[in-house]
Amino acid sequence: MSAQDEVTDLLVELIRINTSNPTHPERPAAEWVAAKLDEVGIDSQIIEASKGRASTIARIEGSDPSRAPLLIHGHLDVVPADASEWTVDPFGGEVKDGFVWGRGAIDMKDMDAMVLALVRDWARTGEKPPRDIVLAFVSDEEAGGRQGAHYLVDHHPDLFADCTEAISEVGGYSISLNEQARIYAVQTAEKGIDWLRLKAKSVPGHGSMVHDSNAVTRLAEAVSRIGTHEWPIVITDTVRALVKGLSEVLQRDLDPEKADEWLPLLGGAARMLGATIRNTANPTMLQAGYKANVIPSTAEATIDCRFLPGEEQALLDTIDELLGEHVEREIEVSDIAVETSFDGALVDAMSAALKAEDPGAIPLPYLMSGGTDAKSFSTLGMRCFGFSPLLLPSDLDFMSMFHGIDERVPVEGLQFGVRVLERLLRSC
């Protein structure tokens, strides 16, 4: 069975293994991956960060041992899904209307399946890549990777020490600008993360009395200031390169600073790309009180902050100004921003592979508003790219399905991705 024939079946099987983070540890999926590799003679090892939080690592030997290996990493965990909100069973792996449906279909069990299908096909036919390939199917990405990629980098860096480049999720997908022009967004950067815990304190009291120092009020005022703050536009090198590419494709003079000129041209992708021209801080959780008639002594909130490369301190300084006198903050989770340039032999090979399968392809770099395991692996000195190639229907709102309902991926898109990855890995 060829990789294109097998990729759909592999994705269906993997979706049916519920790996919702944190309630369903990844061990069953890690064992499934290891078994699929073992079937074709590829050795692997399973590494647990804690009970059940497992990653599968393998190395495929290339024909030129003098070349530095390429890391291909993908996460096995998914975010939870409420079945009552879906039109299909989110863990059923259903194939209908030309799509594979289910949680993880695009985030990111599709890439896991494409890579597995390709390396299994090569193992059966005896094909070898030019350079060694290190495969990492990891746990815990959806919770920041502390029991996944971070753990592997901290405790098993030898497995990746000689890798100089890496590819993974959320890149290489098509965005239709019009009937003739399709750009393929290759991720070369991503924002950093600071998840903040805010705490307001005051003297507790009876809810029926006048109370001038109310912790809930103090917190609510701070949260409102942060949530409604208009962050200034900051144009990074990556966004500047994206807009320059759009200008050339559309033969229009687009100004990166004037996002209202170019963001609408990107369709559904504008939802995510619109968050990459500024820092953001979104209140996401509130906790206070234990009884209706008791004014509590403390109130807490969680703020999801995402900062552009080089902008973390500016973001935190602004947050401190917005907090006010009686609210304190602490950082619960923090991770770096990542950025590399859109050049080099690997980028040339990615572009060539896309154009070979879609002559109208226009590869351009982009900055992702979220985060991936590239944050971990980049600390080992690798250049990290988001390249999980998909040819998508022009009317598919791709970005809305990340952590959304009715997540699905086109079967033809999966097969396209396998073909592109095969061309890439044969040439890079």
What confidence tens digit (pLDDT) does each residue in 228-250 have? 999 999 999 999 999 999 999 99
* Same domain flag for 21 and 164: yes
Q: What is the pLDDT of residue 183?
A: 94
Q: Which neighbouring-strand residues pair with 390?
A: 173
Domain shared by 25 and 168, yes or no: yes
Q: What's the pLDDT score for residue 297? A: 92
Query: Is pLDDT of 407 > 80?
Result: yes
The confidence score (pLDDT) of residue 52 equals 97
Residues 421 and 373 occupy one common structural domain = yes
Shared domain for 219 and 70, answered yes or no, is: no
What is the Cα–Cα distance from 122 to 245, expressed in whole angstroms?
35
C-alpha to C-alpha distance for 74 and 404, rounded to whole angstroms: 19
Q: Are residues 65 and 150 in the same domain?
A: yes
Mean pLDDT rounded to a whole number for the chain: 95
Indicate if 205 and 342 belong to the same structural domain. Answer: no
For residue 414, is pLDDT > 90? yes
CATH number at residue 220: 3.30.70.360
- pLDDT 10s digits, 111-148: 999 999 999 999 999 999 999 999 999 999 999 899 99
How many separate domains does the chain show? 2
Between vectors from CA 377 to CA 187 and to CA 35, what angle results, nearest 5°? Answer: 95
303 and 417 in a single domain? The answer is no
Per-residue model confidence (pLDDT) at position 268: 84
Q: Maximum CA pair distance of the chain?
A: 80
Q: Is the pLDDT of residue 180 over 80?
A: no
Helix or strand run (H / E) with residue 63:
none
Does a structural domain hold residue 238? no
The neighbour count for residue 156, using CB atoms within 10 Å, is 15
Q: Return the pLDDT at 267.
A: 86
Region label for 60, one of left (φ > 0), alpha (ψ between -120 and 50) or beta (otherwise):
beta
| 250 occurs within a structural domain | no
Q: How confident is the model at residue 200 (pLDDT cuts 50, 70, 90)?
A: very high
Q: What predicted TM-score, i.e. pTM, was given to this entire model?
A: 0.93
Shared domain for 182 and 135, answered yes or no, is yes
Helix (H), strand (E) at residue 273: helix 270-273
Q: Is position 90 within any domain?
A: yes
In a domain, 254, yes or no: no
CATH code, domain with 14: 3.40.630.10
- 171 and 219 together in one domain: no
Residue 396, in any domain of the structure: yes
Same domain, 327 and 362: no
Identify whether residues 289 and 413 lie together within a single domain: no
Residue-wise pLDDT tens digits, 290-314: 999 988 999 999 999 999 999 999 9
Residue 272 included in any domain: no
Same domain, 149 and 32: yes
- Based on the number of CB atoms within 10 Å of its own CB, is 93 exposed (0-12), middle (13-18) or buried (19 or more)? buried
Domain that holds residue 202: 192-230+279-334
262 lies in some domain: no
Identify the domain boundary among 334, 352, 376.
334
Domain termination site, one of 316, 334, 352: 334
Checking if the pLDDT of 179 tops 80, the result is no
* Residue at 248 is within a domain: no
Pick the closest to residue 319 from 282, 291, 347 (CA basis): 282
Intra-chain end-to-end CA distance of the chain, in Å? 25
Indicate the SS3 state at residue 205. Answer: strand
Alpha-carbon torsion angle 415, 426, 347, 140, nearest 10: 60
